[in-house]
């Protein structure tokens, strides 16, 4: 690792720091990475806020040990375990599995246990992790073909033991993932073997497979994409066309809304496929599950929703085997379309999946987009082809040189010059002298290896030598050489042709499985459950939806919050209770005038569905000064199950109603000599405040009756004197 990055390098200092510490504490410091040529790509900011802490060299030995070891572990988990590389799209364990399988590949199936054992020569972790990685790759279809019980991605059933199942490389993996002549190898963890640093993969594996990984301080979540669409996008990039939008595609199928998916970052919403079939009007059928959800987990979420009365379902039957098949029987009279929406709203039939592409580039973590990943792979693909072409050109040059030497040696009977020579030195000298007239054709003095090669030509080959055949072979080599040189000059054209060939051969095997829908229709969960629960009040003052014998009060949803207000002014917010002892009588919008009498007041309460922006009107009596107050308020924010006070301590609510009445009619208690016995007030004159604020004075007179509509006790002969609110 480079210890001193240039000023224009976008990488932050934290990763540099812990790599520096790791280098200082190990003997393996050294490999210098080149500066990235794609500085426009975003890089993960791993640098924490700086805190006042002593330098490492100023700390005690235990502090230095802990910090150094932790940073080594962080570096290892990020670079050698959790994150894939942008170059070949593989995690280390996946790369080692594929390399171990390729080394032993003979086209036949091998025991997974044997593959695990071979991989352990390269991978410094346990066999269980390797076996799980093999099963995961096999279930993703592209690289490993399994035989036996590899589990079920739909039901979540686990694979059989490694000794009972077999696997082999697919044709795609065997032909397009390996090229040992252009692969760099390093010693394995124990130094006994050599493993590839990167595989020369000619397909964008990380985007095809989808990869999750969690490391110290960061994580990656790369969603799988469609094979055909990825290659078509790379062809467009090679042809200098705009890169088309590439969207995820899941092997579990379903329907996807990618409106929040921004080129690899953001999130998608995916839904199960729910069908209603002919002659099955009272049933729904789930034929696909969201990615990452098993049928067992889905069934559990449906059962939970049934118990909470969110779904009118009689029972469910899970018939999933090779394909997803969950049969849902509805209760008689249920609306199938409403149930389908409720399944999306309240169960695992709909799921949100986040995506963030974090990979290693030059052994450092960076955050990229899908387009960035494709551009990287396009460049990598051209580099692989260039390396393979250069290797082949070297081989052709050596082969042509050998054939030229053989032709001169045989056609000009130079081998006759050594028939009487008795020493090895003399033989070499005679051959060199024999080639002197033909050095213009050879282009160089003969080496000892070339002389040794000529001396090993069998007599049978010399006697059967065919000059015409030699000329044809040389012409074929020259044509291949010219073609390779042309390909080197037009790498983009060659890579595009190669990808088109892959599309033609493998494209039909990997069609799109997930349907794309331009934005899911919004589901109003409260509307679906607005009458889900019925709140009742029993004779012994229990309030809730589990009260079986009682007076129905109002319907509500389990998603609602309720308010409960008592006549003494205290109130609270709560989810719909199953059973709640109110210790009071339910009287919505009650004139609680019993508190004005000398006897003990009757206690009332009212309840309703909470909405923080609803406006309420409250009139209350405050006995200390004998005044009556009015206020209009909104509930505002709240904390569930916390007691609040709507009026001052000791006061009693006379009227509480939702909204603002047009008028409040008030009848005063009779007093001798009192000229005004009744008044009408306009509540709209009171400004809207918070629920906890004090009201404004309405009247100092003792109230006998009040109402929000003109009551029968209102006497027209006593006048309609308008009351004044004391703001």
Other CB atoms within a 10 A radius of the CB of residue 490 amount to 11
- Beta carbons of 161 and 149 less than 8 angstroms apart: no
> Burial code of 178-204, b = ≥16 C-beta within 10 A, e = fewer?
bbeebbeeeeeeeeeeebbeebbbbbb
The SS3 assignment for 536 reads: strand
Distances (CA, A) of 217 to 88, 247, 254, 575: 23, 27, 33, 37
Q: How far apart are CA 276 and CA 619, in angstroms?
A: 55
Q: Which residue in 76, 122, 142, 164 is the catalytic one?
A: 164
Other CB atoms within a 10 A radius of the CB of residue 161 amount to 12
Q: How far apart are CA 407 and CA 467, in angstroms?
A: 8
Q: How far apart are CA 366 and CA 76, in angstroms?
A: 16
In this structure, what is the dihedral angle of CA atoms 100, 106, 107, 108, given to the nearest 10 degrees? -90
Q: Enumerate residues 6+ apart whose C-beta is below 8 A from 363.
A: 1, 33, 79
CA-wise closest residue to 231 among 212, 249, 257: 249
Report residue 54 as tokens.
């002593």
Strands 255-257 and 515-516: parallel
Q: How far apart are CA 29 and CA 675, in angstroms?
A: 101
Report residue 534 as tokens.
């019925």
Apex CA 643: angle with CA 640 and CA 649, to 5°? 160
Residue 164: active-site member: yes
> Which DSSP helix (H) or strand (E) runs through 526?
helix 525-528
Q: Which residue has the tokens 């922006």?
A: 613
Q: What pairs with residue 211 in β-bridges?
A: 222
> Which DSSP helix (H) or strand (E) runs through 219?
strand 218-222
CA-wise closest residue to 629 among 700, 688, 567, 682: 700
CA-wise closest residue to 679 among 689, 668, 671, 694: 668
Q: Enumerate residues 6+ apart whose C-beta is below 8 A from 279.
A: none
> Burial code of 207-220, b = ≥16 C-beta within 10 A, e = fewer?
bbbbbebebbebeb
Q: How far apart are CA 628 and CA 615, in angstroms?
A: 20
Q: What pairs with residue 621 in β-bridges?
A: 628, 652
Query: What is the set of active-site residues?
Result: 164
């Amino acid at each position: 690792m480079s210890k001193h990055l240039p000023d224009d390098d976008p990488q932050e200092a934290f990763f540099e720091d812990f790599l520096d510490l790791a280098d200082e504490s190990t003997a393996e410091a050294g490999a210098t990475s080149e500066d990235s040529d794609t500085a426009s790509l975003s890089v993960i900011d791993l640098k924490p806020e700086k805190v006042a802490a002593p330098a490492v060299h100023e700390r005690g030995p235990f502090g230095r040990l802990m910090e150094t070891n932790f940073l080594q572990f962080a570096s290892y988990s990020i670079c050698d375990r959790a994150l894939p590389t942008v170059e070949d799209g593989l995690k280390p364990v996946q790369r080692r599995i594929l390399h171990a399988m390729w080394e032993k590949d003979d086209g036949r199936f091998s025991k997974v246990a044997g593959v695990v054992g071979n991989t352990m020569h390269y991978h410094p972790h346990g066999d269980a992790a390797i076996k799980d990685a093999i099963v995961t790759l096999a279930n993703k279809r592209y690289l490993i073909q399994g035989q036996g019980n590899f589990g079920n991605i739909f039901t979540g059933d686990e694979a059989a033991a490694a000794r009972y199942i077999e696997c082999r490389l697919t044709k795609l993996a065997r032909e397009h993932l390996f090229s040992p002549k252009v692969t760099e190898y390093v010693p394995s963890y124990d130094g006994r073997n050599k493993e590839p640093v990167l595989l020369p993969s000619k397909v964008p594996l990380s985007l095809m497979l989808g990869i999750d990984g969690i490391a110290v301080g960061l994580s990656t979540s790369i969603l799988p994409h469609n094979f055909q669409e990825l290659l078509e996008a790379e062809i467009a990039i090679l042809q200098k066309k705009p890169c088309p939008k590439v969207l995820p595609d899941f092997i579990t199928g379903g329907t996807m809304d990618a409106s929040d998916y921004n080129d690899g970052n953001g999130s998608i919403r995916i839904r199960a496929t729910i069908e209603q079939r002919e002659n099955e009007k009272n049933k729904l059928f789930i034929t696909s599950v969201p990615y990452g959800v098993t049928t067992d987990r889905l069934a559990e979420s449906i059962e939970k929703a049934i118990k909470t009365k969110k779904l009118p379902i009689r029972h469910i039957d899970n018939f999933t085997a090779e394909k997803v098949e969950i049969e849902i029987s509805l209760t008689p009279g249920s609306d199938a379309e409403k149930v389908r929406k409720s399944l999306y709203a309240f169960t695992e039939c709909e799921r949100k999946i986040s995506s963030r592409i974090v990979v290693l580039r030059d052994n450092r973590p960076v955050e990229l987009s899908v387009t960035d990943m494709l551009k990287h792979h396009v460049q990598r693909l051209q580099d692989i082809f260039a390396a393979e072409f250069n290797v082949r050109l070297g081989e052709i040059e050596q082969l042509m040189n050998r054939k030229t030497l053989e032709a001169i040696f045989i056609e000009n009977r130079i081998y006759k010059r050594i028939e009487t020579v008795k020493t090895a030195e003399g033989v070499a000298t005679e051959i060199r002298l024999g080639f002197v007239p033909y050095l213009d054709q050879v282009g160089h003095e003969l080496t000892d290896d070339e002389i040794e090669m000529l001396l090993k030509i069998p007599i049978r080959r010399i006697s059967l030598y065919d000059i015409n055949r030699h000329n044809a072979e040389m012409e074929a080599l020259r044509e291949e050489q010219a073609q390779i040189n042309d390909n080197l000059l037009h790498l983009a054209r060659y890579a595009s042709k190669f990808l088109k060939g892959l599309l033609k051969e493998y494209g039909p095997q990997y069609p799109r499985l997930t349907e794309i829908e331009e934005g899911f229709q919004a589901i109003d969960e409260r509307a679906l459950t607005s009458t889900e629960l019925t709140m009742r009040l029993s004779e012994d003052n229990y309030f809730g939806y589990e009260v079986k014998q009682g007076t129905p009060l109002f319907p509500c949803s389990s998603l609602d919050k309720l308010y409960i207000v008592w006549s003494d002014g205290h109130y609270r917010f709560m989810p719909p209770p199953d059973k709640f002892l109110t210790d009071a009588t339910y009287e919505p919008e009650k004139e609680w005038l019993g508190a004005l009498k000398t006897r003990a007041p009757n206690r009332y309460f009212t309840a309703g569905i909470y909405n923080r922006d609803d406006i309420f009107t409250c009139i209350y009596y405050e006995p200390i000064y004998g005044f009556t107050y009015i206020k209009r308020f909104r509930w505002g924010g709240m904390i569930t199950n916390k007691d609040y006070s709507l009026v001052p301590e000791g006061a009693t609510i006379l009227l509480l109603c939702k909204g603002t009445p047009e008028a409040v009619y008030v009848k005063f208690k009779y007093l001798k000599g009192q000229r005004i016995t009744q008044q009408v007030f306009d509540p709209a004159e009171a400004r809207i405040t918070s629920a906890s604020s004090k009201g404004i004075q309405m009247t100092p007179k003792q109230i006998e009756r009040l109402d929000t509509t003109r009551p029968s006790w209102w006497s027209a002969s006593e006048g309609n004197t308008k009351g004044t609110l004391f703001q």
